[in-house]
C-alpha cells in the first residue's frame, strides 16, 4: 500500500498536495519500495507499475508532469505537452494539471495562493536554492508575496547535511543572515540547514506563510530515500494540482 504525507498547511480545498514515501510499490533492492524515478537504474517495469499505482491511489486527473531535473533554475508552465521537459519546477493555473518533482535529500517545495487559483512544485537542492529557483518560481507566479503559501517537504536535515566552504560562500554572499543556517563541522566544512536557507530566501522575497520543514530523509531510513545515505537509491515525489468537480 502506498504511504503518503499530506502537507499540514492552510491551503484552499481545491488545492490537492501529497508527498510519497518509499513505502509500498514494486521496486526491488536497492530501490526497495515506491521508487518513482526512471533515471536511477531501477527496473523500467517496476517504475511504470509504481507510477501507475500512484495515479490510481490518488485518483489523479491526468498523468503527472514529470520533469528532467538538472539542479537548475528553469521553471516551466505545467501543461501536459511539457511532460519530460528539462526543468526543476513547474506551475499551473489550470485544473487537473499535476505538477510534480522528485527528491531523495533535496528539498521539495510546494506553492499555492490563498484563493486556490495557482500551484507550483519545485526541486530545490543547494544548487537550485543558491541559483534562485525559489525566486524564479515566484516571478512566474507573478502575484503579491502575501498571497502565497509554501510547504517544505521531506529533505535532508541540518544534522546530516555537510557541505564545503564554496556552498557556505554562495549563500552568505547573497544573503548575510544565511550564516545562521550553518554550523562548523570540521575544517572547511559546515552542517547546512536547507529548510532555514529556503525560509530565508522566501522571506527575502516577502513570503512569510511557510509550513513544513520537520523531516530528515537521511535519518528516517524506513520512510525515505536518501542519496547521501545510500548513493544508489530511488526517489520520492511531491505533487500538487488544482481540483474541480469535472475531474
pLDDT tens-digit profile of 13-56? 999 999 999 999 999 999 999 999 999 999 999 999 999 999 99
Q: What is the pLDDT of residue 51?
A: 97
Tell the burial category of 195 from Cβ atoms under 10 Å away from its Cβ (0-12, 13-18, 19+). Answer: buried
> Is the pTM of the predicted complex or chain greater than 0.85?
yes
pLDDT tens-digit profile of 133-146? 999 999 999 999 99
Q: What is the pLDDT of residue 43?
A: 97
CATH of the domain at 137: 3.60.140.10
53 belongs to a structural domain:
yes
pLDDT tens-digit profile of 54-92? 999 999 999 999 999 999 999 999 999 999 999 999 999
Report the number of distinct structural domains present in the chain.
1
With a pLDDT cut of 90, the percent of the chain lying above it is 97
Grade residue 247 by pLDDT with cuts at 50, 70 and 90: low
Grade residue 244 by pLDDT with cuts at 50, 70 and 90: confident
178 belongs to a structural domain:
no
123 belongs to a structural domain:
yes
205 belongs to a structural domain:
no
For 101, the domain range is 13-142+149-156+216-242
Grade residue 119 by pLDDT with cuts at 50, 70 and 90: very high
For the segment 185-214, the average pLDDT, to the nearest whole number, is: 97
176 belongs to a structural domain:
no
With a pLDDT cut of 70, the percent of the chain lying above it is 99
210 belongs to a structural domain:
no
183 belongs to a structural domain:
no
Question: Does the pLDDT of residue 212 top 70, yes or no?
Answer: yes
187 belongs to a structural domain:
no
For the segment 204-231, the average pLDDT, to the nearest whole number, is: 97
Q: What is the pLDDT of residue 1?
A: 82
pLDDT tens-digit profile of 143-172? 999 999 999 999 999 999 999 999 999 999
Grade residue 246 by pLDDT with cuts at 50, 70 and 90: low
Amino acid at each position: 500500500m502506498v504511504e503518503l504525507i499530506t502537507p499540514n498547511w492552510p491551503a484552499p480545498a481545491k488545492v490537492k498536495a501529497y508527498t510519497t514515501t518509499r513505502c509500498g510499490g514494486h521496486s526491488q533492492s536497492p530501490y526497495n519500495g515506491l521508487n518513482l524515478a526512471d533515471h536511477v537504474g531501477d527496473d523500467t517495469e517496476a517504475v511504470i507499475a509504481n507510477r501507475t499505482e500512484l495515479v490510481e491511489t490518488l485518483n489523479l486527473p491526468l498523468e503527472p508532469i514529470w520533469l528532467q531535473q538538472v539542479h537548475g533554475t528553469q521553471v516551466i508552465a505545467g501543461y501536459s505537452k511539457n511532460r519530460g521537459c528539462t526543468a526543476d519546477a513547474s506551475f499551473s493555473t489550470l485544473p487537473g494539471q499535476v505538477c510534480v518533482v522528485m527528491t531523495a535529500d533535496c528539498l521539495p517545495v510546494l506553492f499555492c495562493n490563498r484563493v486556490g487559483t495557482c500551484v507550483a512544485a519545485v526541486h530545490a537542492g543547494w544548487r537550485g536554492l543558491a541559483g534562485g529557483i525559489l525566486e524564479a518560481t515566484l516571478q512566474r507566479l507573478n502575484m503579491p508575496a502575501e498571497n502565497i503559501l509554501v510547504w517544505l517537504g521531506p529533505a535532508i536535515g541540518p544534522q546530516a547535511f555537510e557541505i564545503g566552504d564554496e556552498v557556505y560562500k554562495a549563500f552568505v554572499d547573497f544573503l548575510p543572515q544565511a550564516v545562521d543556517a550553518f554550523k562548523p563541522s570540521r575544517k572547511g566544512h559546515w552542517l547546512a540547514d536547507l529548510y532555514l536557507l529556503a525560509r530565508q530566501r522566501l522571506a527575502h522575497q516577502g513570503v512569510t506563510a511557510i509550513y513544513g520543514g520537520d523531516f530528515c530523509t537521511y535519518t528516517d531510513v524506513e520512510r525515505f530515500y536518501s542519496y547521501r545515505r545510500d548513493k544508489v537509491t530511488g526517489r520520492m515525489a511531491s505533487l500538487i494540482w488544482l481540483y474541480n468537480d469535472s475531474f
